[in-house]
């Protein structure tokens, strides 16, 4: 009986020692992931290391939120505009039917798309259509002004003998695509 009690204590001590060693390794691993201001910094206690890690994680979360807002701003997506009301007209901003202009000049094609903030995938579809028709994209730009997104694409359409037919076909395809999309 005494042997069982002794071995049971030994087992518990061994388990506790293993748990402490595992926790020590995990603390060490966590501490290695947190950037430190200098390598000559005195060794921090475990609670201080945990506080420092928690502060670092909070800073990362704040930084991530700021980056997401900046990305959305650069893409012309202003979340508030989707649901906010325009006080003077009473209309919802960000909702605008798309308008496209296609200009042909020899073998070059300029596509200007104007739409609201709600049609952000249309640009990708137009690029895809141009590629499918064999047009080479030379330049593409995007600008946002209030609740309107202006997208301009300059492309080159094949050789000059075939370019007139190709340009006309691309123009019709893009206009049909925008008309079909604006019906929804």
- Mean pLDDT (the chain) is 77
User: Predicted confidence band at 134 (pLDDT cuts at 50, 70, 90)?
Assistant: confident
- The residue ranges of every structural domain in the chain are 99-182
User: Predicted confidence band at 162 (pLDDT cuts at 50, 70, 90)?
Assistant: low
Task: Using alpha carbons only, give the angle 175, 183, 121 rounded to the nearest 5 degrees.
Answer: 65
pTM of the model: 0.44
For the domain with range 99-182, which CATH number is right: 3.30.70.260, 3.40.50.300, 3.10.105.10, 3.90.550.10?
Answer: 3.30.70.260
Would you state the pLDDT for residue 144? 81
Would you state the pLDDT for residue 81? 42
């Amino acid at each position: 009986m005494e042997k069982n009690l002794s071995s049971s204590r030994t087992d518990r001590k061994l388990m506790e020692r293993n748990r402490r060693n595992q926790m020590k390794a995990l603390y060490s691993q966590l501490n290695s992931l947190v950037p430190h201001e200098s390598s000559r910094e005195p060794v921090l206690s475990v609670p201080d290391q945990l506080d420092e890690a928690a502060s670092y994680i909070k800073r990362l979360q704040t930084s991530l939120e700021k980056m997401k807002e900046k990305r959305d701003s650069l893409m012309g997506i202003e979340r508030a505009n989707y649901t906010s009301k325009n006080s003077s007209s009473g209309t919802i901003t960000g909702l605008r039917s798309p308008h496209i202009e296609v200009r042909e000049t020899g073998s070059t094609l300029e596509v200007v798309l104007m739409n609201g903030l709600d049609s952000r995938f249309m640009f990708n579809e137009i690029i895809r259509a141009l590629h499918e028709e064999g047009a080479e994209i030379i330049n593409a730009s995007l600008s946002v002004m209030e609740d309107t997104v202006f997208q301009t694409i300059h492309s080159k359409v094949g050789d000059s003998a075939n370019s007139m037919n190709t340009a006309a076909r691309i123009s019709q395809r893009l206009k049909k695509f925008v008309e079909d999309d604006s019906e929804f």
